[in-house]
Structure 1
Amino acid sequence: MKSFKYVLLALLLSLNLGVAQYRSAADYTGPNNSFKPGEWLKFRIHYGFLNASYATLHLTADTLRGKPVYHVVGKGKTTGFASIFFKVDDTYESYFGVADGRPYKFIRNISEGGYTKNIEINFDHQSEKATLFDKKKGKSMQFVFNNGIQDLISGFYFMRNNYSAEELVVGKSIELQMLYDDDGIFKFRLKYLGKEVLKTKFGRVECLKFRPYVQSGRVFKEQESLSLWVSNDQNKIPIRIEADLAVGSIKADLEGFNSLRNQFKIIMD
């Protein structure tokens, strides 16, 4: 059950990958296309046959250092029988610009089966440097980045608002830059696989399917073990995530939502 600590990470990483191509902050089209303050998403995560946990994302309007920003809080906890074997209580937060979608502050405060981590990253876009402070160890480090960097949460909202389904090409891969931990800036590759209709608790939903490339071996069974389905509408929210782990499998489904910017499209028979 130790692999379960990667459930929430796999979910949040996947959220950032529903994109057509890489865009910089200069291409940001504003916040009113795909989301709005008050949006709340809930995901139910299964590990094998267990209903292992729930994860939520809540977006609100805020200010940071005199700038209007969006503040997103992502939370995840194990529930029921799964929490007996491996208890997870994770919180992720991101503050990103209303006008440009750039990340300004990121927080990762996690407790996973006795392993804890509490870090804060502050992004200075004038100097193009990010300062990471490890609150547990009392240490800090700096990373140099270029225009377009995102954190784990801000990238989700930035990309939702900056791609069109018409731009996608089946089989084409793209890359995304991200900084969320002391491992530094890294890239993900993502392949678009086409459209697919999924049966969900809400009805049948047309989705765009993606295949993120992940590192095989320690956590995931194969390099292409992770699949993501994103709603093919203006909301562009994750509908389902599936992954084959080195031991077992994960499935995350959209369980609930509130205050979407646009109508959630259901296929009516």
Structure 2
Amino acid sequence: MIKNTIIFLFVFGILQISHAQESIENNAFKAGEELKYRVFYSSSLGNLTAGEAILKVEEWKESNSADNKSFFHITGIGNSKGFFDWFYKVRDRFETHIDQETLLPYMFVRRTREGKYKYDDDVFFDRENLLAKSRREIKPIPKDVHDIISALYYLRALSLDNFEQDSTYRLSFYLDDSLYHTTIKYISKGKMKTTWGWIDCLKFSPKVATGEVFSDEYPMAVWVTDDDNHLPIMAESKVVVGSIRMELIEYSGLKNKPAFFREKNKQE
């Protein structure tokens, strides 16, 4: 059930632009990068810390690979905190192994623990035969399909210089033995006030399925740093009751020196 991963998906975004399976120049991230986020829930009762999430990139070498491929092993961990941990405990873990040349995934691992809900899955992406092989299904896939974690890192590596305001872009990802197609809208460039001061950002809005969680097709705004790192720095979204906000609170191991900081007292 896709709705059971909504908090984690919100933290990391589902941001992947469809392209052919080819090498991509990655100037945005490297092995050793670690990002930590805090998630807040706001309602008429006030603001509450809902959870935390960590994204970590490591080097990984396939021992039996005949072509000596190099991979990134990316882990995403999401945990509920405070009142939410007592009310609805979340312990989610997602892992992906992506080719360092194409940034496409070859294996996706999911371990979901949300309240009484439990879901485990392992998906192997057979790129030669264009098949996704999970514990339960074998299904055909397009050659450029991503999982929910690899999608974010693929987008970060893309050149964003030619994005046009209000343009929409096609998205595809594989989750829960299903292939999803959606779009993401590029909104604008601007400055976002954060813990570190003013940051130059690019603003996106992914289209999501309406229903039990979201009442609007474009309820979410995601801000990515307008520099070589393309860090997801902040996200906000209205849900059926209240709203959710995600903020980057710690980072280490960036590929590029941060060049986006502004003085905290600088005015727009």
The aligned amino acid for 2:101 is A
**Residue 8 in 1 paired to residue 8 in 2?**
yes
Spell out the pairing of 1:29-108 with structure 2 (5 A cutoff): 29-31=24-26, 33-48=27-42, 49-64=47-62, 65-66=64-65, 67-108=69-110
Partners of 1:70 and 1:5 in 2: CA distance: 23
Spell out the pairing of 1:1-269 with structure 2 (5 A cutoff): 6-12=6-12, 14=13, 16-17=14-15, 21-26=17-22, 28-31=23-26, 33-48=27-42, 49-64=47-62, 65-66=64-65, 67-133=69-135, 140-164=136-160, 166-182=161-177, 184-264=178-258, 265-268=260-263, 269=266
Q: How far is 1:163 from its partner?
A: 2.4
Partners of 1:129 and 1:74 in 2: CA distance: 24
The DSSP-based 3-state class of the residue aligned with 2:137 is: strand
The DSSP-based 3-state class of the residue aligned with 1:25 is: coil
TM-score, structure 2 length as denominator? 0.90
Partners of 2:186 and 2:139 in 1: CA distance: 30
The aligned amino acid for 1:70 is F
Query: What does the per-residue CA deviation read over 1:146-175, in whole Å, with 9 as the maximum and x for residues that have no partner?
Result: 2211111111112211222x2111011001
The DSSP-based 3-state class of the residue aligned with 2:148 is: coil
* Runs of 4+ with >6 A deviation: none
The aligned amino acid for 1:112 is E
Partners of 2:171 and 2:218 in 1: CA distance: 17
The aligned amino acid for 2:10 is A
Q: How far is 1:5 from its partner?
A: 5.7
Contact 2:224 2:233 in 1 (8 A): yes
Q: How far is 1:181 from its partner?
A: 1.7
Q: How far is 1:203 from its partner?
A: 1.4
Partners of 1:63 and 1:195 in 2: CA distance: 38
Partners of 2:9 and 2:102 in 1: CA distance: 25
Query: What does the per-residue CA deviation read over 1:73-118, in whole Å, with 9 as the maximum and x for residues that have no partner?
Result: 1001111222111100000000011122121000110100110000
The aligned amino acid for 2:6 is Y
Partners of 1:157 and 1:4 in 2: CA distance: 22
Partners of 1:175 and 1:42 in 2: CA distance: 28
Q: How far is 1:211 from its partner?
A: 1.2
Contact 1:25 1:101 in 2 (8 A): no
Q: How far is 1:4 from its partner?
A: 8.5
Query: What does the per-residue CA deviation read over 1:126-147, in whole Å, with 9 as the maximum and x for residues that have no partner?
Result: 00111011xxxxxx21111122
Partners of 1:246 and 1:95 in 2: CA distance: 34
Q: How far is 1:221 from its partner?
A: 2.4
Contact 2:24 2:103 in 1 (8 A): no
CA 121–167 in structure 1, closer or farther in 2 if over 3 Å, else same: same
Contact 2:9 2:148 in 1 (8 A): no
TM-score, structure 1 length as denominator? 0.90
Partners of 1:171 and 1:100 in 2: CA distance: 27
The DSSP-based 3-state class of the residue aligned with 2:9 is: helix
